[in-house]
Structure 1
Amino acid sequence: MASTASNTTAQQVFGERYEHRIARAIAYIEERLHEPMTLSGLAAIACLSPFHFHRVFRTLTGESVRSFVERRKLERAVGLARKGHSWKSASAASGFRSPVSFTRAFKRVYGTTPTTFDLEGWWAARGDREAAGAISAFFLRPPPPLDPDFAVELRERPAARLAVARVWGGYLAPDRLVAAYQRLRDWADAAGIATGGGRIAGASRDDPDLTPLSRCRYDFMIELPCDVVPPPRFALAERAAGLWAITQVQGDLAAVDRAWSMLFKSWLPASGLDLRDAPVEEVYRRLPEDIGWSAFDLECCVPVAIPERG
């Protein structure tokens, strides 16, 4: 038992020491998927040697740097293709140097070529399909009829500095999500940072329809006063100023899911707005522990932009 406790403590210290460094490198990767990048360059961003960067990255994420970059490029390409882009333009926009390299990587990950890829068929074959279907299958469901009473507000949100607590694989282990939220909340309370009034938000960094649940990332974020720097166990991020489409929802997870489906699949296509390249957020109007984790009072927030007219 003493050995187990010692190993657990070591893992916690290891994670707190390096997690923000790896998060910084991942943010760089996400912003520049279309650009070439090297292991040494990413290691420098994380302030680690290439050897230690690769080892720490695999320990914290469960996959190699190369596998992570390739998977995220493919997921971006599939996402663009679902929005109407051709495979050629989607692969180029996602950083693949040639159609041949894209097709080779696609077949390695999805087991088929891009032109024969079938999302429903891939879902049927994925190893975590039962768990994924219970919490996702978002794009496999038909869009709900647009409710004329469905209220959406367009709101300009200012730029904000954020402290971020990240969870890997939280959909498979909800207790990790609650623990990450609580760590962020406890630190904010100790630092005298206000937590109510929509200052805490959650954001899924991956699409469970395409990303294995064990690899899905979820961030809890709190807005920071300008003079506060979070401790190393939290990443520091920025939310850019911009326009957001926002709807309020109160109820259980099913109610939240219905709101997201209506907002994304029915309201957004009819709005004429473009979707900005930023994660959607769930902003807590009332904190989960105040009303219980089985019910929520939050805002579903989607980053949008008014399309340019030619």
Structure 2
Amino acid sequence: MDKADRHERRFTKVLDYIASHLDQPLDVARLSQVAHFSPFHFHRQFSAYLGMGVARYILMQRLRRASYWLAFQPRRKITAIALDCGFENPETFSRAFRQALGLSPSEFRRCPDWPDWHLRMTPPVRKGMENMEVKIVTVAPAMVAALEHLGPPERVNDSALRFIEWRKESGLSPVPGSQTYGIAYDDPEATAPERFRFDICGSVSAPVPANAQGVTTKEIPGGRCAVVRHVGSHHDLSEAVWYLYREWLPDSDETPRDFPVYFHYLNLASDTPEHLLQTDVLLPLR
């Protein structure tokens, strides 16, 4: 292992530690110990690696977690969210939230502005994933309830909230054994925002009746797929997708099938800390 790889692993360990301890005090002394760096130089090394200071990064991660809980867990009290995200009290949380997003936590809960949120709360891009484990599996076809999102990728969460509304009203999904998927028809980096298409899906056992949210019945076809498991924020899923296309596919003897890459969400951002999210990324093969 060369020096660059050792450096990368040290900082990956630090970022993982931060993600799993957001509800606890985090100081430079402890983080420098985790990384095995000198505390005298840790600030500069962290900023050079990630493009922002350690305090700002920790605050952003706490506010990201709080934002998901505000939007997707409407019954969770704001006071509890503040404390569970590592803020000393609700007043400190509200002040930090407003300074970062221009809205109070209650205002964001009532009407989240996801495009603005993405502009303000997207962390710097980390080094791409390497040596990911790719498996070839055969999946069964799945009948799904699907909500078609058409528009900027930053507004997918608005569609997700509408899909959750349908789930609550219909009671058809989720049910025991049901699964949640996302179908990525377009590359957000190469598609005009107004033309970006993405389906939010949940498996069902029967066709979906007509409904106010516009959820319809579709099928994810069965067959062979290359699959890689991504652990961490959904924001970084593109790294796994590009690994499949740029690294794995050219070196394989496989040919993609005529169906887009899709995601199987093994847990959900609405009730799981970002660093614990698990998503299978599937590339259909002939």
Length-normalised TM-score, structure 1: 0.48
SS at match of 1:282: strand
Please give the residue correspondences for 1:44-55 in structure 2 after superposition, counting only pairs within 5 Å. Answer: 44-55=33-44
Distance 1:51 1:218 in 2: 35
2:62 aligned with 1:73: yes
Length-normalised TM-score, structure 2: 0.52
Letter in 2 for 1:98: N
Q: 2:156 aligns with which of 134, 138, 150?
A: 138
**Structure 1 residues 87, 70: closer, same or farther in 2, change over 3 A?**
same
Gaps of 5+ in 2: 122-150, 180-186, 191-223, 241-256
Q: 2:19 aligns with which of 30, 38, 43?
A: 30
Letter in 2 for 1:92: L
SS at match of 2:5: helix
**Do the aligned residues in 2 keep the contact of 1:202 with 1:283 (CA within 8 Å)?**
yes
Distance 1:275 1:149 in 2: 17
2:274 aligned with 1:297: no
Letter in 2 for 1:52: H
- Aligned match of 1:60: 49
2:19 aligned with 1:19: no
SS at match of 2:41: helix
Instruction: State the Cα distance separating 1:77 from its structure 2 match.
Output: 1.4
Instruction: State the Cα distance separating 1:197 from its structure 2 match.
Output: 8.7
- Aligned match of 2:277: 279
Letter in 1 for 2:230: G
Distance 2:230 2:100 in 1: 28
Q: 1:95 aligns with which of 86, 89, 99?
A: 86
**Do the aligned residues in 2 keep the contact of 1:76 with 1:94 (CA within 8 Å)?**
yes
SS at match of 1:50: coil
Distance 1:74 1:15 in 2: 30
Instruction: State the Cα distance separating 1:50 from its structure 2 match.
Output: 2.0
2:208 aligned with 1:200: no
Instruction: State the Cα distance separating 1:154 from its structure 2 match.
Output: 7.2
**Structure 1 residues 149, 123: closer, same or farther in 2, change over 3 A?**
closer
Distance 2:20 2:120 in 1: 28
**Do the aligned residues in 1 keep the contact of 2:230 with 2:237 (CA within 8 Å)?**
no
Instruction: State the Cα distance separating 1:57 from its structure 2 match.
Output: 1.7
Structure 1, residues 254-274: CA drift from partner, whole Å, max 9, x if none?
xx27x76xx98xxx8xxxxx9
**Structure 1 residues 100, 280: closer, same or farther in 2, change over 3 A?**
same
How many equivalent residue pairs?
Answer: 189
**Structure 1 residues 109, 217: closer, same or farther in 2, change over 3 A?**
farther
2:241 aligned with 1:252: no
**Do the aligned residues in 1 keep the contact of 2:32 with 2:42 (CA within 8 Å)?**
yes
Distance 1:35 1:143 in 2: 33
Instruction: State the Cα distance separating 1:46 from its structure 2 match.
Output: 0.1
Alignment root-mean-square deviation, CA: 4.4
Instruction: State the Cα distance separating 1:73 from its structure 2 match.
Output: 0.8
Distance 1:276 1:122 in 2: 19
**Do the aligned residues in 1 keep the contact of 2:28 with 2:39 (CA within 8 Å)?**
yes
Please give the residue correspondences for 1:258-273 in structure 2 after superposition, counting only pairs within 5 Å. Answer: none
Please give the residue correspondences for 1:118-267 in structure 2 after superposition, counting only pairs within 5 Å. Answer: 119-121=111-113, 123=115, 127=119, 134-141=152-159, 142-143=162-163, 153=177, 200-203=228-231, 205-206=232-233, 208=235, 220=240, 251-253=259-261, 256=262
Distance 2:26 2:39 in 1: 13
User: What percentage of residue pairs aligned between the two structures are identical?
Assistant: 21
Instruction: State the Cα distance separating 1:14 from its structure 2 match.
Output: 6.7
Instruction: State the Cα distance separating 1:113 from its structure 2 match.
Output: 1.6
**Do the aligned residues in 2 keep the contact of 1:110 with 1:122 (CA within 8 Å)?**
no
**Do the aligned residues in 1 keep the contact of 2:18 with 2:58 (CA within 8 Å)?**
yes
Instruction: State the Cα distance separating 1:47 from its structure 2 match.
Output: 0.2
- Aligned match of 1:293: none
**Do the aligned residues in 2 keep the contact of 1:34 with 1:95 (CA within 8 Å)?**
yes
Instruction: State the Cα distance separating 1:219 from its structure 2 match.
Output: 6.3
**Structure 1 residues 99, 48: closer, same or farther in 2, change over 3 A?**
same
Distance 1:51 1:200 in 2: 39
Distance 1:59 1:217 in 2: 24
SS at match of 2:230: strand
Instruction: State the Cα distance separating 1:58 from its structure 2 match.
Output: 1.6
**Structure 1 residues 62, 172: closer, same or farther in 2, change over 3 A?**
farther
